[in-house]
Chain A
Amino acid sequence: MNAEEDLDAAERALGHAPRFGEKADARQAREAWEARLAPLLDAAEPVAPPDSLWQRIETVIGAESGQVIALDQARAQTRLWKGISGVALAAAAALAIYVAVPATTPTEAAQYVAVVTADDGSGTGLIIQFDTASGVATVIPAGASPPDGSSYEMWHLPQGATQPVSLGLLPQDPVARTTITAGTGDLFAISLEPPGGSPTGQPTQPLYHGTVVRVE
């Protein structure tokens, strides 16, 4: 970048030329100018905004955060979907389709899914689909059986909570449950336990985890 181009970047930093369409080095040069001049912003007198502003911001964040997380999550998950069971693949495929075609016409009923994958990235252990219209959570085990003499146990950690709640042992086959209510950002996990489940009420050896994302 020569000196003239750097001054072009300074003009974009001042707002005298549009920032739109910058290439990477042009953006970096403009951001460097913004950082140089940023101490000037300290002089702005703080003014409390109206209370309604937070509500507006929260509404925007809430409306989009499900989808943003779903996309990030989906990218991460696609690397892990090889080698999981047919049922899980179908659910995974459904997730991919939903994410690839983001809903532009929101429906009242929302679909959420938690894809619970091995902490070491070796595979998927569990998929939970939530249908808010029916209140039914479908639990789809997708991993291998636990080693002999041990059990897999499911856990739910609501967003903001510090202690997970046991959902019982991992079923062999897909089951529908109406007692699991979860929101975006909630964490689900599977732990390895002695036969019959955790003796302490808390996970002994967590092996898999995944968060709830909205896929509607």
Chain B
Amino acid sequence: MPQADDLDELLLRIARGDRAAFRALYQSMSAKLFGVTLRICRDKSIAEDATQDAFVEIWRKAKDFDGARGAPGAWMAVIARNKAIDQIRKRGRAVLVTGGEDGADVLDTLPDQKAAVDGGVAGLALGQCLGRLADREKEMVVLAYCEGLSREELSERYDAPVNTVKTWLRRGLAALKACLDGEEARGRP
């Protein structure tokens, strides 16, 4: 995985229209971003479209990237995720066949953020705060964010009305934010 500093530098050059820097960024990040979109789209050709949309947006918006507001790898991963969500909301997607996933694999990786591209502190805090939520709310947040499950899909999965899903999610998100704000305050010198 490339270092955040290298990605920062590449984005600066891309903002000036540097195509070679864009090529280098693609080589560094395409497998990561394709992985993010594939997990949501579950179909290679739809995920390719989403990844293409993501890189085109990165090219256009490189000048808007602000390193003070977040790490470059996370900024790009969020763009890819949003493009994947746009694709599946527009085109639908294959039904999840495995069915047994509950987001546990995602949660397992959170405490191990030191190896990740964007540093560990934010991931560690997120992992701790998600861990304090009720299991069902935690799983729903993770499945919605990482796999792009809609309220309707969550409703089916948890056998609960859509409005109940919405209520659970909002409660979970509110608790998550309160916890993260507390973690941030504790981390301050």
Contacts and interface: CB of A to CB of B under 8 A. Distances in A.
Interface of A: 3, 6-7, 10-11, 13-16, 19, 33-50, 53-54, 56-57, 60-61, 65, 68-69, 159-160, 185
A35 B123 contact: no
A40 B106 contact: yes
Interface string B122-140: 1100110000000000000
A15 B35 CA distance: 18
A10 B151 CA distance: 13
Interface in B85-113: 85, 89, 105-106, 108-110, 113
13 contacts: A7-B170, A14-B144, A14-B169, A15-B144, A16-B151, A19-B82, A35-B70, A38-B78, A38-B118, A41-B74, A41-B146, A42-B109, A53-B48
Contact of A7 (B51, B81, B123, B174): B174
Given A11-B169, A41-B77, A16 B122 contact: no
A47 B38 contact: yes
Given A11-B170, A14-B169, A45-B35, A37 B48 contact: no
Contacts of B77: 38, 41-42, 44
Binding site secondary structure of chain A: helix
A41 B105 contact: no
B144 A42 contact: no
Contacts of A3: 174
B4 interface: no
B169 A40 contact: no
A33 B85 CA distance: 16
B69 interface: yes
A9 B118 CA distance: 24
Contacts, number: 143
A112 to B, nearest CB: 14
B158 interface: no
A43 B74 contact: no
Nearest to A15: B85
A76 to B, nearest CB: 14
Contacts of A46: 31-32, 34-35
Contact of A49 (B20, B48, B78): B48
A37 B148 CA distance: 13
A38 B105 CA distance: 16
A10 B30 contact: no
B102 to A, nearest CB: 13
A16 B169 contact: yes
B144 A16 contact: yes
A158 to B, nearest CB: 13
Nearest to A69: B17
B17 A40 contact: no
Contact of A40 (B26, B60, B145): B145
A3 B117 CA distance: 31
Given A16-B150, A185-B17, A39 B26 contact: no
B168 interface: no
